[in-house]
Chains A and B, each alone.
Chain A
Amino acid sequence: MSATTETIKLPVGEITVSRKGTGPQLLLLHGGGGSIADHPVVDKLAEKFEVIAPSHPGFNGTKIPDHFDGMPELVHFYLDVLDALKIDNAVLMGISMGGWLAAELASINCARFSKVILVDAVGVKIGGPTDRDIVDVFGIPPDEAAKLMYHDPANARDMSTLSDEALAAVAGNRTALGLYTWEPYMHNPKLPQRLHRVTAPTLFLWGESDGLVTTDYGKAYAALIPVQNLWQFQKLDIRLTQNRQSAS
């Protein structure tokens, strides 16, 4: 299924968005690996939804606005994105870092969203100060980090086989991920006190083999959202990284 891609000017900065399919809106917020608009799972979603898949600034070769220092700027930037894309009664789906972004947006104003789906989301601190809730992906070799994100590690990209161009794209995405998640690492200490505002039915979708954030983390995260959520475990290649065929 072919996607249309456009770059939309915003009051501050711009956003590149891919769209696929027709039906109710589904806003898909990607994780640290970059846009998954070409992933087969999006084709599946596009059979029932208009899948709207923006690239967060800095990912997929896009520019990071000069005033960005971290996730708070991205969240507020997305308020403009929601306006520009006329998001209304949409399913909000966020994966990993995009799940964090989705939780932030839904906690600011859930009126635009009919449902929320958080896939292996980060964004909250569950344990105590010395509990490493979320693996430090910047403190291990990138190929090891990639393997944590797949049910079958063999599906992880082999960095050594990538072209210089492809590797620079991976590096660019890693740079953007670092900007949004470095400190506090992959979470917002204030978010748990805001999640009561997520009033749409929320589905937590977790890969049981997730090596980055465990299912226990996912369960504790889910408990912070009052509108009781459905809860599924699947053998999921959680990071849904570009061009992988094995999401199931």
Chain B
Amino acid sequence: MLSIKNLHASIDGKEILKGINLEIKEGEVHAIMGPNGSGKSTLAAVLAGRSEYDVTEGEIIYNGKNLLELEAEDRAREGVFLAFQYPVEIPGVSNINFLKTAIGEIRAYKGLEPIKAKDFLMMLKEKQELVEIDRALVRRSINEGFSGGEKKRNEIFQMAMLEPKLSILDETDSGLDIDALRIVANGVNKLKSEENATIIITHYQRLLDYIIPDFVHILHNGKIVKSGLKELALELEEKGYDFIKEEVEA
């Protein structure tokens, strides 16, 4: 589904990603862990199509398409979804209007009929229940006055509504208490299927207790320095990131 080869990216002339290689297949969950500044969020931003980052080398092939040639909205329409680390507040745009517009454009892109109002409302209700988000929040403006946890939950709700093929969760666990973390993880697990894949970007191992990854990759200084199975996350938690640094620099 996703094949990243020798990806180099920089911002304001400073190189952040220094040759990432990653293969992801349908149905898989990949965790990308790493210390602050290792390039985790840059990788997420480059995948989602943030224009501030310059890709200087390498390629990303997504379902046979050159992802880097697509605009951010076209990536979303092709099924790439980024759950933001810091979702923005947009006063004056209701969540419902926002989702209706997004689904409308995604369907138009795929050459599908517009969704019927009744079907949209049913879907809204069903997904609200699935990710356990308060109905009152959904009726408000996008993230306006939401707590940190409510914003993260809203990201997962949007993910449920847009039914992406590749979801990238950028530090979705940060700032969540354990109850909120369980609800968010539960939502993600319910949305998992054989056809879609998930990338979980995190600093800590805790989320991985609830969303079990198939593979764990450790990012350090813009490169994946170690890959393994879910046990790698536990080892990392126990020994701390210093052990990676020592290993790499040794």
Asked if A and B are interacting partners, one says no
